[in-house]
């Protein structure tokens, strides 16, 4: 039986799996979808795939990445998420530094929580009623992972983007009352203050290399 900590890690891995995806075209369906409907569909798709794929359940990182890139639309403003996590120093970073930060941050998130996907069994997602007006461009979608034990809080902040890539995109995640961006901002700020932007990148590269041989 999973304890609350392991279920919380699994919850975060699910929201990452439903959000950490870059470079795929946004479908017309996603562009027209309500934010709560979008989260419900993506969460259900990911849960169903995980439950039916033994390789993912065993913690196969390549399978997790394939699930993210194949199944999930690019429903995250990952540039905004990375910039917010880096903090004020983002604007001073060069385009190359910004690209490397995004790449390493994505790897960090996927690798850190890939192993937790192996713990998915009889959980399901419940999306709470959306409290937002039709004209709102920034919303909070509140969900719970329900299964064994107490429900696990899992919330998403989304923004509506205009133009060719119109649609709702996630820019922050909350598991058990802890917001992802704010958590990493504190960690990254310490690295930047002591080692600079290149030092932060080197730290992320080293952490990802250390995690490469593990499953979570």
Q: What single DSSP character describes residue 53?
A: -
Rama region for 87: left / alpha / beta (φ>0; ψ in -120 to 50; rest): left
Residue-range domain boundaries for the chain: 4-211
Q: What single DSSP character describes residue 129?
A: P
117 and 13 Cβ atoms separated by less than 8 Å: yes
The whole-number pLDDT of residue 122 equals 73
Q: What are residue 140's phi and psi, to 5 degrees?
A: -115, 120
- pTM attached to this predicted model: 0.77
The whole-number pLDDT of residue 36 equals 94
pLDDT in tens, the chain (216 residues): 344 555 455 555 555 555 443 333 444 455 578 999 988 888 888 788 888 888 877 777 777 777 766 655 467 788 999 999 999 999 999 999 999 999 999 888 776 655 555 566 677 888 999 999 888 999 999 998 887 778 878 899 999 988 766 789 989 988 778 898 999 999 999 999 999 999 999 999 999 888 776 554
Distance of CA 183 to the CA centre of its chain: 13
Instruction: HSE, CB side, 13 Å, CA atoms: give it for residue 166.
Output: 10
Task: Given CATH 3.40.50.10540, say whether it is the number of domain 4-211.
Answer: no
Token code pair at residue 84: 């917010």
Beta strands in the chain (DSSP E): 124-127, 138-146, 152-161, 167-175, 178-179
As a whole number of angstroms, the distance between CA 53 and CA 67 comes to 10
The whole-number pLDDT of residue 153 equals 84
The whole-number pLDDT of residue 27 equals 46
74 and 26 Cβ atoms separated by less than 8 Å: yes
Length of the chain measured in residues: 216
The whole-number pLDDT of residue 120 equals 64
As a whole number of angstroms, the distance between CA 145 and CA 15 comes to 11
The whole-number pLDDT of residue 116 equals 54
């Amino acid at each position: 039986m999973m304890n609350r900590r392991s279920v919380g890690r699994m919850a975060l891995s699910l929201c990452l799996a439903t959000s950490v995806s870059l470079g795929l075209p946004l479908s017309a369906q996603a562009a027209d979808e309500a934010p709560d409907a979008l989260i419900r569909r993506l969460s259900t798709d990911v849960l169903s795939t995980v439950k039916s794929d033994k390789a993912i359940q065993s913690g196969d990182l390549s399978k997790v990445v394939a699930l993210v890139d194949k199944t999930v639309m690019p429903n995250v403003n990952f540039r905004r998420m990375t910039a917010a996590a880096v903090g004020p120093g983002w604007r001073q970073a060069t385009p190359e530094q910004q690209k490397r930060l995004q790449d390493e941050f994505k790897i960090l998130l996927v690798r850190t929580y890939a192993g937790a996907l192996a713990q998915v069994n009889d959980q399901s997602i419940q999306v709470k009623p959306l409290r937002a007006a039709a004209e709102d461009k920034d919303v909070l979608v509140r969900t719970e992972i329900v299964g064994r034990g107490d429900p696990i809080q899992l919330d998403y902040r989304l923004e509506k983007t205009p133009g060719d890539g119109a649609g709702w995109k996630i820019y922050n995640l909350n598991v058990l009352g802890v917001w992802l961006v704010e958590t990493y901002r504190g960690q990254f700020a310490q690295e930047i203050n002591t080692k600079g932007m290149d030092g932060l990148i080197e730290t992320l590269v080293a952490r990802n290399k250390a995690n490469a041989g593990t499953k979570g």
